[in-house]
Amino acid sequence: MDATTKPLRIPPEMAVYAEEHGVFEIIQKMVEKLLVDRPEDTIQYLIDHLRNNNDDAPRIVILGPPASGKHTMATLLGKRLNATHITPENLLSNDVSLLAKTALSYKHKGQEIPNELWTQLIRERLSEVDCVKRGWILEGFPRTREQALMLQMNGSTPDHVVVLDAPDIVLIERNMGKRIDRRNGEVYHTTFDWPDDPEIQKNLVEPEGISEEETGQKLLEYHRNIPGILRTFQKVHKQINADQPCMDVFSQVLTFVLSKPRSAAPHTPRVLMYGPPGSGCTLQAALLAQKYGVINISCGQLLKEAVANEKKYEEMIAPYIENSQQVPNTFVLKILTERLGRLDSSTYGWVLHGFPRDTEQAALLSDAGFQPNRVFFMDIPDDVAVERLSYRVTDPVSGERYHAIYKPAPSTEVHQRLQKNPKDAEESVQAKLDMYHANMEDLEEFYQNVIHVNADQDPYTVFEFIESCIVNPLPKSVPEDPASP
């Protein structure tokens, strides 16, 4: 870049690289860690931090009243995310920790373990290799706002706080049916999760503190403390209804913990919309351009403008357009990259539709340095696409478009002069649909993190979904569950 040249332009490849590798988030995380830990040797500290490569490791807290399913959710998440499951109980069972022995001495005397000692215990545990490398899931802590603030002060801040909730009457019923295997501490329930093995049944015992009166006292204490805890983790918590089937709760919890917090990094939308004819790509691109100021680039319209305005392209591509033939990729890419490379596209972002149509075109676009950061596939049934297009007609006098079903002509006079474009004939539409289906799977494989959109609904409902996917970060990827088929 030449600093003497105005305006100063940053090559688009730099933004693509920064977004792809999360450069802004890496620097932000390093600054946060420096301010919390304040190491003496900052350079070596940052080198060690980068070597750990654990910024995406899960850091999750699971809270909830008694019998809300905290232990079950934490166990399932630990297995699915391969993260370390931590509870106050297993913190105290650490035989080699002096802090754990000190905390146990308080417990044996029947005294409350000080909050400062709890947070030191947690910090010590979270600094161990398994938590640093694989991440952690902390169950049932903090229990008060003071404990939550201490966690923040010592740098043990979670990225996600799951708060399970259910009516008190349901929780009391659940708690009274709880049984524990005295050999390994596994939890069962007389109604919902009774073991089939008679040997396990013999070892089940009723835990202490599950009577209706004791459970009620614990619920009162929980309801008194939870508002302050939620204020501490205001931007990273989500309350989930635990009064539903276990796997439904887990699905919602997993979706939440895989979501990423909104980044403060500069974000330039580079949106690619791909769909069959009649799926609404043109309308959705126009809505995005209208609301966010991104540059709306229609490949077909761009080629027509090139023929009309640019003499150097007229002789090359005019014959193809006049005969309704596909323009060679070389000519299309030359016109398209010139438009994508303009200053307004680099500054405000772009939404592209009509190109690419196959993996060859997608590879050419990528090789030219234009990589979308959101790819939407607009999905509609073939019969809906045919219905949308084959009943479409135009008034040659006013240029207004009508539809025999959704937008009929306002008068008999207008209806009699309506004309149908030959490209909207059912046979022509079906041929385009066949071509779309032939290339869809290969394009989906080419572009990672494709977002499928149900385009067979109200256009503004579709737009709201697309908008949310652009504004919010893409969720974290997680390995497939080995237990799933």
- The DSSP result for 406-463, as a single string, is TB--SSHHHHHH-B--GGGSHHHHHHHHHHHHHHHHHHHHHSSSEEEEE-SS-HHHHH
Alpha-carbon gap, residue 272 to 371, rounded angstroms: 9
Q: Are 321 and 304 in contact, with CB atoms under 8 Å apart? A: yes
CATH number where 449 lies: 3.40.50.300
Helix (H, G, I), strand (E, B) or coil at 30: helix
CB atoms within 10 A of CB 361: 18
Asked whether residue 282 falls in the same domain as residue 254, the answer is no
Same domain, 386 and 422: yes
Distance (Å, rounded) from C-alpha 466 to C-alpha 451? 9
Would you state the pLDDT for residue 160? 94
> Is 283 in the same domain as 253?
no
Domain boundary among 230, 258, 286: 258
How many domains is the chain built from? 2
Cβ proximity of 300 and 423 under 8 Å: no
Whether 287 and 214 map to the same domain: the answer is: no
Containing 65, the helix (H) or strand (E) segment is: none
pLDDT at site 377: 95
Say which DSSP state 193 is in. B
Strands (E), 177-299: 178-181, 187-189, 204-205, 237-241, 270-274, 295-298
Q: Which has the closest alpha carbon to 189: 205, 174, 170, 203?
A: 174
Residues near 399 by beta carbon (within 8 Å), at least 6 away in sequence: none
**431 and 336 fall within a common domain:** yes
- For residue 56, what are its two tokens? 């995406």
**Residue 41 domain flag:** no
**pLDDT for the residue numbered 224:** 95
Is residue 276 in a domain? Answer: yes
Which residues fall within 8 angstroms of residue 217, CB to CB, at 6 or more apart?
none
316 with 178, same domain: the answer is: no
Query: 477 in a domain, yes or no?
Result: no
Q: Domain check: are 243 and 139 in the same one?
A: yes
For residue 46, tell me if it sits in a domain: no
Residue 36 maps to a domain: no
**Contact in structure between 357 and 439 (CB atoms under 8 Å):** yes
Q: Is residue 102 part of a domain?
A: yes
d(CA 201, CA 10): 68
Domain that includes residue 205, residue range? 57-258
Domain boundary among 258, 280, 300: 258
Tokens of 244: 């539903």
Question: Domain check: are 226 and 89 in the same one?
Answer: yes
227-250 as b/e, with b when 16 or more CB fall inside 10 Å? eebbebbeebbeebebeeeeeebb
449: in domain:
yes
Bridge-based pairing state of the strands 178-181 and 204-205:
antiparallel
Same domain, residue pair 210 and 329: no
Q: Which of 215, 238, 258 is the last residue of a domain?
A: 258
Q: What is the pTM (predicted TM-score) of this model?
A: 0.68
d(CA 443, CA 438): 10
Same domain, 247 and 306: no
The helices-and-strands tally (H runs, E runs) of the chain is 23, 15
Domain match, 431 and 284 both? yes
Same domain, 236 and 336: no
Per-residue pLDDT of the chain (485 residues; tens, 9 = 90+): 444 555 556 666 677 777 777 788 888 888 888 887 788 898 998 888 888 777 788 999 999 998 898 988 999 999 999 999 999 888 888 777 888 889 888 888 888 889 999 999 999 999 898 998 899 999 999 999 999 999 888 888 899 999 999 999 888 888 887 778 877 777 777 777 788 888 888 888 777 777 888 888 999 999 999 999 999 999 899 999 999 988 999 999 999 999 887 766 677 899 999 999 889 999 999 999 999 999 999 988 888 777 776 556 656 766 766 666 677 888 888 888 888 888 888 888 999 999 998 999 999 998 888 889 899 999 999 888 888 888 777 878 887 887 777 778 888 887 778 777 777 778 888 888 888 989 999 999 999 889 999 999 999 999 999 998 888 777 766 555 544 44
- The answer to whether residue 43 sits within a structural domain is no
The predicted pLDDT at position 271 comes to 94
Answer yes or no: are the C-beta atoms of 66 and 219 closer than 8 Å: yes
pLDDT of res. 412: 82
